[in-house]
């Protein structure tokens, strides 16, 4: 009995040490999340700001906390989800609990994603998260079960409440807002069978009504000479003049002034057929998005370069065209 207990204890210690030794981590809290990459930590608050909120340097750790700092403050970030995040504002050793930790995932290899965290109801080791990547690709991580990607999905549709993603094994409805839960079934089943409880969603673009997920994006080297790469991109918009452009792990929010159907202008790119119909979105007098069926040309001073996005589904494009024709898109 003692030998059995000793072996169990030793395995538990090895498992805990291996978690602590991870060089990456995702720590979601109410209002934002932290991403660990070695001793470098980045904080995000997607509802308040696109991109990084703040960065920190880890200066020590113990069995229960990572300690990080920047010029403004020190933070204690827990290694277990039961503990709260604390701040030392004056760096004088006076700690104050400030954030309620939602979970701690000792693995996060894709820090530029948009995270959807869940609890599958079978214990903390079964908690996990989905990462929404560019180009309609989704990765599921279940760090308590497996290192690396647990499953890969391709987005096949969406409605006002859910993104619909599919793998060879499952179809998942991923909620766009908190208050709705994940719904899971298998291909060929009627209805939806089970799901996960939503713990947190960190995606400002989830509330947009229309999304164009592109398989490739490229920046102009000069003129109309674009070099495409295999990383995707996304344009999201609604009928209240809000627009978001995402590529290369960065997200840019705009308010557009007008949206109309025009004949495509020749000479934009060999990847866009001349004379084809497109949606022209005007951000301001100097910035615009030309959205074709399957491709887009983006010119924006804020982005700082000309961008070409290629390989989107034409479904939403045609829906917007139809709404524009009957005059219902703008509010």
What pLDDT, on the 0 to 100 scale, is given for residue 13? 41
Token pair for 236:
């999201």
Cα 11–Cα 106–Cα 10 angle in degrees, nearest 5: 10
Q: Are both 289 and 320 inside the same structural domain?
A: yes
Task: Indicate which CATH number applies to the domain containing 304.
Answer: 2.30.29
Alpha carbon distance 16, 49 (integer Å)? 34
In terms of residue numbers, what domain contains 54?
2-99
Tell me if residue 294 falls in helix, strand or coil. Answer: coil
The pTM score is 0.67
The answer to whether residues 7 and 87 belong to one domain is: yes
Report the SS3 class of residue 102. coil
Is residue 44 located within the same domain as residue 24? yes
- 3-state helix, strand, coil split of the chain in percent (to 5) is 10, 45, 40
Give a yes or no: residue 105 inside a domain: no
Does 186 share its domain with 225?
no
Q: Give the domain-ending residue among 174, 207, 240.
A: 207
For residues 202 and 254, state if they share a domain.
Answer: no
Phi and psi at 230, nearest 5°, equal: -85, -5
**Kind plus residue range of the DSSP H or E element containing 323:** helix 315-326
- How far apart are alpha carbons 103 and 82 in whole angstroms? 8
Q: Are strands 305-310 and 295-300 parallel, antiparallel or unpaired?
A: antiparallel
Domain end marker among 50, 65, 99: 99
331 domain residue, yes or no: no
Q: What is the mean pLDDT of each run of 10 residues along the chain (331 residues)?
A: 46 42 81 91 79 90 95 94 92 94 82 75 72 85 84 87 90 88 84 80 75 84 75 83 82 86 59 67 83 85 86 78 78 42
The answer to whether position 106 is within a domain reads: no
Domain for residue 109, yes or no?
Answer: no
Residues 197 and 282 in one domain: no
DSSP 202-244: E-GGGG-SEEEEESEEEEEEETTEEEEES--EEEEE-TTSEEE
Helix (H, G, I), strand (E, B) or coil at 315: helix
Cβ proximity of 142 and 117 under 8 Å: no
Are residue 119 and residue 23 in the same domain, yes or no? no
Q: Is 224 found in the same domain as 130?
A: no
Question: 173 and 250 in one domain?
Answer: no
* Residue 235: CA count within 13 A, CB half-sphere: 30
Let me know whether 127 and 139 are in one domain.
Answer: yes
Q: Which element (helix H / strand E) includes 245?
A: strand 242-247
Residue (of 49, 102, 118, 43) closest to 75 by Cα position: 43
**Computed over its alpha carbons, how large is the radius of gyration of the chain?**
23
Which of 167, 189, 207 delimits the end of a domain? 207
**Ordered strands of the 277-284 beta sheet:** 225-229, 216-222, 305-310, 295-300, 287-292, 277-284, 258-263
- Output DSSP code: residue 101: B
For residue 74, being part of any structural domain is answered with yes
Same domain for 219 and 318, yes or no, is yes
What phi and psi, each to the nearest 5 degrees, are found at residue 315? Answer: -60, -55
Q: Give the count of domains, the chain.
A: 3
> Residues 7, 95: one domain?
yes
């Amino acid at each position: 009995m003692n030998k059995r207990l000793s072996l169990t204890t030793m395995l538990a210690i090895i498992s805990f040490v291996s978690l602590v030794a991870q060089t990456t981590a995702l720590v979601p809290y109410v209002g934002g999340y932290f991403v660990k990459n070695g001793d470098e930590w980045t904080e995000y608050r997607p509802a308040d700001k696109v991109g990084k909120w703040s960065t920190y340097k880890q200066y020590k750790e113990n069995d229960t906390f990572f300690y990080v700092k920047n010029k403004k403050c020190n933070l204690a970030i827990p290694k277990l989800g039961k503990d709260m995040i604390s701040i030392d504002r004056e760096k004088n050793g006076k700690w104050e609990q400030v954030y309620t930790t939602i979970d701690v995932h000792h693995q996060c290899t894709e820090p530029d994603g948009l995270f959807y965290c869940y609890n599958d109801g079978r214990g903390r080791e079964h908690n996990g998260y989905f990462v929404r990547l560019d180009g309609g690709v989704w990765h599921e991580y279940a760090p308590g079960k497996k290192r690396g990607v647990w499953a890969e999905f391709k987005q096949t549709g969406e409605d006002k409440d859910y993104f619909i993603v599919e793998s060879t094994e499952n179809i998942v409805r991923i909620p766009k807002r908190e208050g709705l839960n994940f719904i899971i079934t298998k291909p060929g089943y009627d209805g939806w069978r089970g799901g996960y409880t939503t713990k947190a969603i960190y995606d400002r673009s989830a509330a947009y009504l229309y999304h164009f997920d592109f398989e490739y994006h490229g920046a102009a080297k000069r003129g109309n000479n674009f070099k495409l790469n295999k990383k995707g991109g996304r344009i999201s918009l609604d009928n209240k003049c809000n627009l978001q452009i995402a590529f290369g792990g960065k997200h840019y929010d705009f308010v557009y002034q007008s949206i109309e159907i025009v004949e495509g202008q020749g000479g934009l790119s060999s990847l866009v057929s001349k004379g084809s119909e497109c949606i022209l979105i005007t951000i301001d007098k100097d910035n615009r998005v030309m959205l074709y069926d399957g491709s887009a040309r983006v010119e924006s001073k804020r982005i700082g370069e000309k961008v070409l996005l290629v390989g989107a589904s034409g479904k939403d494009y045609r829906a917007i065209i139809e709404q524009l024709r009957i005059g219902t898109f703008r509010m």
